[in-house]
Amino acid sequence: MTVANKKGYFITVEGTDGAGKTSVLATIENWITAQGHRVITTREPGGTPLAEQIRDLLLTSREEKLADDAELLMMMAARVQHVHTKIKPALMQGTWVLSDRFLDASYAYQGGGRGMSTARIDALHTWAIDHFLPDLTILLDVPVAIGQARVAHRGEEKTRFEEEKTAFFERVRSAYLARANQEPQRIVVIDARADQARVQADVIAALSQRWSA
């Protein structure tokens, strides 16, 4: 990736709701720490106070419908702020950065889910963060129904996205998998139907393979 003098590595975790992203963050943090590196964990949309305010605009349901292009632009605006203010400065200092969702989510949700053109997202991505990409992306893949059943047990209030129909999430999942097919060297797909111990072991295997001593 393209940060001059970068010393830390950037890892992202992706997947549909209930795939187990947030659950697996601690496993990855522990692994990075055990390798002797500093790590910060962050999330998208959000990650800085200002970007978290954009998150609130994006995730809270309101009477006024958010136009698809506005959704994409706000996601990208939050990402610019996040990369500029938090991610790149940490990487420059040698701190590893772990993010619960990042760029691939725009291709999955706005591209797959909303049906916006990939070319449009590509153009905006280049404009916003100039091909800044994670060093490794863990894609937790789970059938939509299983993810939804898990989230139902989580007992949190539904976000604006969670109000979408199953077909929306099927498109999100397909778009994630299509992206993994296009970038197999960066995106590792993990079968997240398995129990948490199995998923954690697979995640650690992916990390060890990428940064084998």
Among 34, 154, 163, 213, binds ligand ADP (CB under 6 A): 154
Among 150, 164, 201, 211, binds ligand ADP (CB under 6 A): 150
With binding defined as CB under 5 A, does residue 85 bind Mg ion?
A: no
Per-residue HEC secondary structure of the chain comes to CCCCCCCCCEEEEECCCCCCHHHHHHHHHHHHHHCCCCEEEEECCCCCHHHHHHHHHHHCCCCCCCCHHHHHHHHHHHHHHHHHHHHHHHHHCCCEEEEECCHHHHHHHHHHHCCCCHHHHHHHHHHHHCCCCCCEEEEEECCHHHHHHHHHHHCCCCCCHHHCCHHHHHHHHHHHHHHHHHCCCCEEEEECCCCHHHHHHHHHHHHHHHCCC
Quick one: what does residue 62 bind among ligand ADP, Mg ion, none, with the CB cut-off 5 to 8 Å set by partner type? none
Instruction: Give the range of 22-30, 86-94, 143-151, 161-169 binding Mg ion by CB under 5 A.
Output: 22-30
Quick one: what does residue 124 bind among ligand ADP, Mg ion, none, with the CB cut-off 5 to 8 Å set by partner type? none
Which residues on neighbouring strands pair with residue 100, listed in sequence order? Answer: 13, 43
Among 3, 6, 23, 85, binds ligand ADP (CB under 6 A): 23
Among 62, 64, 153, 212, binds ligand ADP (CB under 6 A): 153
Tokens of 211: 């940064």
With binding defined as CB under 6 A, does residue 160 bind ligand ADP?
A: no
For ligand ADP, what does the binding mask look like between residues 166 and 205, x meaning CB under 6 A? --------------------------x-xxx--x------
Instruction: Give the range of 16-24, 75-83, 101-109, 158-166 binding Mg ion by CB under 5 A.
Output: 16-24
With binding defined as CB under 6 A, does residue 141 bind ligand ADP?
A: no
With binding defined as CB under 5 A, does residue 95 bind Mg ion?
A: no
Binding site for Mg ion (CB under 5 A): 21-22
